[in-house]
Structure 1
Amino acid sequence: MLKRLLVICLLIPLSCIDPYNIGLEEGEQLLTVEGFINTMPGPHVIKLTRTDTYGSVFEGLIRPVRQAQVIVRDSEGLVTFLEEIEPGEYQTPAGFAARIGLSYTLQIRLLNGREYTSFPERVNPVAPIDSVSIRSVQIATENRLQDRVGVQLVAHFKDPEEQNNYYYWRTKPGTYVVVANPELFTNPPTHPTNPRGPNPKDCCDICYLTENNRLRDFSIASDEDFNGLETSQIITFIEDNGTRFRRTFRTEVLQMGISPEAHRFLKLVDQQLSITGSVFDQPPANIRGNMISLDDPNELVLGYFIAADVQSQVLYINNADLEFRATPRIIPDDCRLVPNASINPPPFWNPPAN
């Protein structure tokens, strides 16, 4: 409504109206903590941002929190300082790893002197992953002529019988082979003598790209229904966007054991993300995590600091293994011009020999 009013006002000749200042109240800036540590060697990253409450006219604006002092303290008194590597991103030393049986606390001191802390998070052991399998799937959409296709990842493991276990699955950023067609390159339409004419390039048709999506799917489960049993859990869906699965795709699955409190928090987040978005849905809730302000106990701090044991497994997915595939996206140019792509494979790229 506000946007419509502004448009109408702009259409009226300026000489016919008096200036009017519209007062827009800025929403409360909420500190948001994102990240976790686990038993794999670091570095581990904690992100600090400030965002606005639901309903603010500045909603969706995210500001990194810079120049904070961020430390992780364990239950034996060892303190680890995190270094700011990017605005709002704080990283542990490369060799840092959480230890099973210890509890960890995240402590933050902002540039203005305000201090925050998490409640202690204990690291509980998690079951090893026996294997990860793939399912090539086709998902119907509202558009009957354009289904979604992609790959489901399924983790197989045996749940320990002697304790209650809470699972949290994430995948590291995927890396894949970018297939291009430089031989199809054509001149730009502004070419003085041969606009849009063929102008094949000598290089390069194969590159490697590591995705850097800020938002990645996660999955959670408790062992209420499979305590002590062999089980299989669908942990994520990776959509085929026409480029990811043209040749080989690499991902790394993280299976983490988390606390009951962390599981409860993530379950609420998952429920909120599943809101369909109709006008009858409740507005997004600010879900309280395990972070508190030491200066104002009533201040709402978003996010949750997780400390977890982790088991991981690397998976390479080949195009030939998929039953359903998206229409390939043709890149009629040098693959090195694709943002973030490189002709050199990353050091961890090691697909099994066929």
Structure 2
Amino acid sequence: MKSTLTLSIHHIYPNRYILYQYTLLIIICTTLLTACVEPYAPPAIESTNSYLVIDGYINSSDGSATVKLSRSVSLSSTDTPPAELNATASIEDDKGNTTLLTGDNTGKYTGGGIPINSTSLYRLRIKTSNNKEYLSDYITLKDTPPIDELTWAPGKDGVNITVSTHDDSGNSRYYRWDYDETWEYTAVYLSGFIFKNDSLIPRPYDQYIYRCWRTTTSHDINIASSDQLAQDIIDDKLITHIPVGSQKLFIKYSMLLRQRALTREAYNYWEQLEKTTESLGGLFDPQPGKVAGNIYNTADLDEPVLGYFSGGTVQSQRFFLSSNDLPNELRRFQGMEGCMADTVLMKDIKNYSPLYSEAIGEATQGPVVIGYIFTSKSCADCRVQGGTTTKPDFWQ
């Protein structure tokens, strides 16, 4: 009887039954397909090969050179590339002059007094601590036009910093920018006391650790080209975006931007590197491959060497942005989230260490001081966040 009734319903509503079957099939297939999708990381992304990375530039404006040496990490790694230390770096020209560069503990090699001649060719020579020698191709020096404008504009969720430039001669066409950014910030609490001989004394003014300035250097690739335009103009190129609520915007922010004109070959290198390192994530994104620069191992031409050596004049410009300049919707103030303060009685102060905590005030009972108020060091020492209490000379 049930079978007859079922057949009758199917006969009366055939379209509805077919629609039900198709719907069920689609749900099953969708579930299976979704369950089978797994992230795919191409082997090159996970590669742990440690190649030499070189970023070198001759500044013909003042006859100086800066070379940064490090070692590569896998594209999936979040670690900071390790610096290449104890190397020997020098600048050579085709007239036989050699200028030795001096290295520091960050892998940065610098030098001055390089004889600059517009008709000379220059190259970079490096010898690492394991006695491998690297040499760049000879390069010509390229003039860079001035920066027209370095400015900021409010966005929907933060601040956009942009640059504009042009070259009436049309000889530049290819540009690269990097920058130092500095911002002023404070700790959540003001530490008014310091430990001395297992007791607390008022903190001298010159030892205050409440206000800091932090400076960092850009690591992203900022390039642009006017090669496809009738005029050599770069208009409102986005340099960086600072999201609303960033510590950089709490008090005052400053950027020192450096602009360099590149050769077509240098631009092609940085463009390919940008695509390789910053556009990964999907099957249809550019996949990692060998990015050929102009530097090679003199004894092993097959060894991959990452980086490019170039040179020319450098144009720079600094600007400041105060929190008072921001529209109300982008203003934020430092919160106290995660920063607790506790009262510690005198007898227990010996259990507190200046390595982990700071005293921010006295705890009193009437006129009598019965202890001190403590908080964690990260909440009362601005230096913990990477800054310094020394105000920069350029700060306004």
For residues 290 and 227 of structure 1, what CA distance do their matches in structure 2 show?
A: 29
For residues 152 and 382 of structure 2, what CA distance do their matches in structure 1 show?
A: 30
Q: TM-score, normalised by structure 2?
A: 0.64
Is residue 182–residue 216 contact of structure 2 (8 Å, CA) maintained in 1? no
Q: What root-mean-square deviation, in Å, do the aligned CA atoms of Structure 1 and Structure 2 show?
A: 3.4
Secondary structure of 2:271's aligned partner = helix
Is residue 212–residue 383 contact of structure 2 (8 Å, CA) maintained in 1? no
Residues 1:313 and 1:28: Cα distance change in structure 2 (over 3 Å): closer
Paired letter, 1:30: Y
For residues 52 and 144 of structure 2, what CA distance do their matches in structure 1 show?
A: 30
Shift of 1:263: 0.4
Count the aligned residue pairs. Answer: 296
Match of 2:30 in 1: none
Paired letter, 2:273: V
* 1:177 paired residue among 184, 187, 196: 184
Identical columns (%): 22
Match of 1:103 in 2: 121
Secondary structure of 1:287's aligned partner = coil
Match of 2:380 in 1: 334
**Structure 2 segments unaligned to the other structure (5+ residues):** 1-46, 193-201, 340-378
For residues 52 and 246 of structure 1, what CA distance do their matches in structure 2 show?
A: 34
Match of 2:105 in 1: 86
Secondary structure of 1:122's aligned partner = coil
Superposed CA deviations along residues 310-351 of structure 1, whole A, max 9, x for unmatched, are: 1111111111222352643336643544333233311222x2
Paired letter, 1:89: K
Residues 1:167 and 1:340: Cα distance change in structure 2 (over 3 Å): same
Secondary structure of 1:64's aligned partner = coil
Superposed CA deviations along residues 118-144 of structure 1, whole A, max 9, x for unmatched, are: 112211111111222211212xxxxxx
Is residue 130–residue 156 contact of structure 1 (8 Å, CA) maintained in 2? yes
The answer on 1:284 being equivalent to 2:288 is: yes
Is residue 191–residue 380 contact of structure 2 (8 Å, CA) maintained in 1? no
**Structure 1 segments unaligned to the other structure (5+ residues):** 1-25, 139-147, 186-199
For residues 220 and 168 of structure 1, what CA distance do their matches in structure 2 show?
A: 4
Is residue 31–residue 302 contact of structure 1 (8 Å, CA) maintained in 2? yes
Secondary structure of 2:155's aligned partner = strand
Which has more helix, going by share of residues? 2
Q: Which has the higher contact order (CA 8 A, sep 6+)?
A: 1
Residues 1:166 and 1:208: Cα distance change in structure 2 (over 3 Å): same
Shift of 1:60: 6.3
Q: TM-score, normalised by structure 1?
A: 0.71
Secondary structure of 2:220's aligned partner = coil
For residues 170 and 246 of structure 2, what CA distance do their matches in structure 1 show?
A: 45
- Between structure 1 and structure 2, the one with the greater Rg is 2
For residues 248 and 233 of structure 2, what CA distance do their matches in structure 1 show?
A: 31
Match of 2:301 in 1: 297
Secondary structure of 1:135's aligned partner = strand
For residues 75 and 330 of structure 2, what CA distance do their matches in structure 1 show?
A: 39
Secondary structure of 1:305's aligned partner = strand
